[in-house]
Structure 1
Amino acid sequence: MRIVLLGPPGSGKGTQATRLAQRLGIPELSTGDMLRAAVSAETPIGRKAKAMMERGELVPDELVVAVVAERILRPDAKNGFILDGFPRTIAQAAALDDILLTNGLNLDCVVELKVDEEVLLGRILNRAKEATTNGQTARVDDTEGALRIRLDEYRRQTAPLADYYRAKGILKSIDGLQPVNKVATSLFEALVA
Structure 2
Amino acid sequence: MVLVLLILGLMLPLVDKALGSGGTALAAGTVIAVGTERAGGVRPVTFTVPAAGWVLDEARSSLTNNAELSRDEVVFNLNVVIPLGSLDDRRLWNGFGRIVSMGGGELRGGPRPITTAHGMDGLTGPLSGHGRIGSGTVFARDDLGAEITASGPPEAYRRLAGQVRAMVLSVEFAP
Bigger proportion of residues as strand: 2
Q: Which has the larger radius of gyration?
A: 2
Question: With CA pairs under 8 Å and 6+ residues apart, which has the higher RCO, 1 or 2?
Answer: 1
TM-score by length of 2: 0.24
TM-score (norm 1): 0.23
Q: Which has the higher helix share?
A: 1
